[in-house]
Amino acid sequence: MNPEALVRPELDSGVPAGDVLLAFAAAIIGTDQAALDQARAALKAALGPAAVVGASAVAGNFSKNDRVANGIGIPIDDMVFKGTEELREQLGLNDYKSAVNTFRHL
């Protein structure tokens, strides 16, 4: 898998139908209902109806967990923080506004 494809969609993610999954992920957090409908249809065509359910569940659960962690200020473990330095830099995660929640605990 190529994690850089998460922030550079012109790259191949190395995941089957990765481009379709990324388009669905972008649509699910957007506000364009037609784009979301189109992304669902493309995901269903590429990977089947169970993929739409699975991808939706993953997105919803991630959003829930992320909001809970941010809300209560759960710090990232030092081992995980150090072990993800290159990946966070590669994906620009340190630039997100919510990154202050991680850095203030270190």
Tell me which long-range contacts 38-42 makes (C-beta under 8 A, separation of at least 24): none
Output the pTM of the full model.
0.70
Range with lowest mean pLDDT among 2-11, 26-35, 43-52:
2-11
How would DSSP label each residue in 39-67?
A: HHHHHHHHH-HHHHHHHHHHHHHHHHHHH
Give the pLDDT mean for 34-38.
97
Whether pLDDT at 23 is above 90: yes
* pLDDT digits 0-9 by tens, 37-96: 999 999 999 999 999 999 999 999 988 887 787 777 777 788 888 898 999 999 898 888
Cβ 39 vs Cβ 28: under 8 Å: yes
Residue 27, class by beta-carbon neighbours within 10 Å (0-12 exposed, 13-18 middle, 19+ buried)? buried
pLDDT for residue 105? 65
